[in-house]
Structure 1
């Protein structure tokens, strides 16, 4: 249990640092429920960490019935990830880099955090939990599933906010998906 909590703490911290330090300053999004939470924050000013936890509820109810092991790991992962996101919010705007550098560094940090958690069958959020369950049933790599769903979220954000900078978000999704695929392939 301590090893699992250490993995969740490590992964959640990386996700919080990557999003708050490198993605939020440019009002970009990553995928999954974090991406949807950020969209809700940008559109209506809702607290992204709180929205992230609330959006996870339906997926976790499904996971509870489908696979209790994934449910418990995912629930702890989502709560700690949401808390770390809020705790690390003061990083927003403290790191001054050009947008492409920020996108690449942030995506690598997030990708490592997500990949490490997924490697140990722990999800940092509902979409990732859903991807873990689909990967378990379909034998498709979880990183590929995450990349596909995250791309849909980014394209939705692009259409809703009509901000060309969201094309940078596609780079984030590609790097996170690639790192998750690599880390979970071993």
Structure 2
């Protein structure tokens, strides 16, 4: 078991491939949600709601709304975490838009979209966390709370998502909100049960 005193250090190549693969996982999850007209958890969920209501590009909205969080990330966890998180958000923003013409989904049941999103995005977040990165926004706050107070990152995100989906219920069909909530619960359970400070900590 890895402890805080012998945390692994990744090479530049290892970090690069880790961020790329993890971001691709998350982008695939978002793409499945959009195909079913659902929303995701975290900051991406806010971006999807804005994109649905405005018709703007999800990638652009997601990138822009994350900008205020980078200064906080730099101050709380350092330059490396901030830069890696910026890279992950940028990769997700680009890949989510690239997937639209390359992987066209004519029909998908919302239950399948929710479950597959939860698993894919959850694994993606785990990969980013293990390479000292995040997808910005709420996940930055979640990691900081876990590091400082031991409150698991998944639980912080779950609390945020409950608020997010309450708001979504006023602007989206109830069925879409409920299926989206299933995806969020699965994602956060994947993170909560598999990312713990005493199991795996990176610097």
Partner of 2:160: 149
Structure 2 unmatched runs, 5+: 1-11
Q: 2:133 aligns with which of 100, 110, 122?
A: 122
1:15-164 matches, cutoff 5 A: 15-20=26-31, 22-68=32-78, 69-90=80-101, 93-94=104-105, 96-164=107-175
Structure 1 unmatched runs, 5+: none
How far, CA to CA, are the matches of 1:14 and 1:167 in structure 2? 23
The structural deviation recorded for 1:102 is 2.3
The structural deviation recorded for 1:144 is 1.4
The structural deviation recorded for 1:93 is 4.4
User: For 1:23, what is the secondary structure of its paired residue?
Assistant: helix
Q: Which moved more, 1:130-139 or 1:54-63?
A: 130-139
Q: How big is the alpha-carbon RMSD for the aligned residues of Structure 1 and Structure 2?
A: 1.7
The C-alpha deviation readout for 1:91-147, integer Å capped at 9, x for no partner, is: 564263322122212221111111221233210222211211122122111111112
Give the TM-score normalised by the residue count of structure 2: 0.84
Give the TM-score normalised by the residue count of structure 1: 0.91
The C-alpha deviation readout for 1:68-87, integer Å capped at 9, x for no partner, is: 23212211211112112122
CA contact under 8 A between 2:117 and 2:187: conserved in structure 1?
no
Extract structure 1 runs of 4+ deviating beyond 3 A: none
How far, CA to CA, are the matches of 1:74 and 1:63 in structure 2? 9
In terms of Rg, which structure is larger?
Answer: 2
Closer/same/farther in 2, CA of residues 95 and 16 from structure 1, 3 Å limit: farther
Closer/same/farther in 2, CA of residues 120 and 184 from structure 1, 3 Å limit: farther
Q: 1:13 aligns with which of 2, 9, 24?
A: 24
Q: Which moved more, 1:28-37 or 1:65-74?
A: 65-74
How far, CA to CA, are the matches of 2:153 and 2:191 in structure 1? 8
Q: Return the structure number with greater helix share.
A: 1
Partner of 1:172: 183
How far, CA to CA, are the matches of 1:95 and 1:144 in structure 2? 34
Number of residue pairs matched by the alignment: 185
